[in-house]
Amino acid sequence: MSALPRRIIKETQRLMQEPVPGISAVPDESNARYFHVIVTGPEDSPFEGGLFKLELFLPEDYPMSAPKVRFITKIYHPNIDRLGRICLDILKDKWSPALQIRTVLLSIQALLSAPNPDDPLANDVAELWKVNEAEAIRNAKEWTRKYAMDN
């Protein structure tokens, strides 16, 4: 494997030295492009109190192409499907090389605060979110309690 680009080293250093509140990202011991991420559920969201595990991988041509991010913890969210894939514009066509791991994870945290059922990935969840938001939020809380609260 080729040497780690300076950009990745810098970003990793900064993530370790000045971590973003509510987000921890630790590079894997054997692969510096692979990060173990934990995002805490934002306050005043149905995911509050949960600790959500994610994996983040920086592809070969990062930062020219977007990092690959996936939820490992199950989550009830209209823009995240059951495999943990995330529907987020900056991970797709709106990616810019000027964005960073930090900004991506912040965006994901923001997505937890503001689900967007009009652009769904998990259709059943989005449907319920639109038809009966109260019940959807109840489900989300239930899932958070069930999957994201035990260690």
Partner 1 sequence: MDDSTMTENSDEMEYQEDEEEDEDDNDYYYNYDNYADSGGDHHNDGNDQNSGGADFETLQGVECLNVEQAKNLLNEHVDLLSSKLHISPSLAKLFLHLNEWNVNAIVQAYLKHTNAFLVENRVKPPSTSASAMDSLPLPTPSSSTSSPHSSSSKTSVCSVCTLSLPLANDIDMRRKLHISPSLAKLFLHLNEWNVNAIVQAYSKHTNAFLVENRVKPPSTSASAIDTLPIPTPSSSTSSPHSSSSKTSNYIGLLSCGHPFCKNCWAKHFEVQINQGITLDISCMASQCNILASETLILTLLRPALHDKYESFSFRDFVSTHPHLRFCPGPNCAMVMKARESKPKRATCTSCHTSFCFQCGAKCSQRNLAQLEAEIENLSWKIERAETTDRGDLENQMDIAEKRRITLLKDFHLTAPGKEGRGSAELSLYLNSISCSGDWKQHGSEYYECSRYKENPNIGRESAHAQAREALKKYLHYYERWENHAKSLKLESAMLEKIRTRIHSKVMTSSGTWIDWQYLIDASTLLARCRYTLQYTYPYAYYMEPSLSHSRKELFEYQQAQLEAEIENLSWKIERAETTDRGDLENQMDIAEKRRITLLKDFHLTAPGKEGKGSAELSLVS
What is the footprint of partner 1 within residues 67-126 (CB under 8 A)? 90, 94, 96-99, 103
Q: How far apart are CA 58 and CA 78, in angstroms?
A: 25
Alpha-carbon span 45 to 83, nearest angstrom = 22
According to CB under 8 A, which one of 1, 2, 3, 6 is a site residue for partner 1?
6
The span from the CA of 137 to the CA of 46, in Å, is: 6
- Report the length, in residues, of the chain: 151
87 is catalytic: yes
Site for partner 1 in 45-64 (CB under 8 A): 61, 63-64
- Cβ proximity to partner 1: between 46 and 63 the closer is 63
Active-site residue, selected from the candidate residues 15, 69, 80, 87: 87
Select the span of 6-14, 21-29, 109-117, 123-131 touching partner 1 (CB under 8 A): 6-14
Nearer to partner 1, 41 or 63 (CB): 63
Question: In the complex with partner 1, which residue's Cβ is closer, 61 or 135?
Answer: 61
CA distance linking residue 82 with residue 33, whole number of Å: 24
> Which residues of this chain interact with partner 1, rule CB under 8 A?
5-7, 10-11, 61, 63-65, 90, 94, 96-99, 103
Active site members = 87
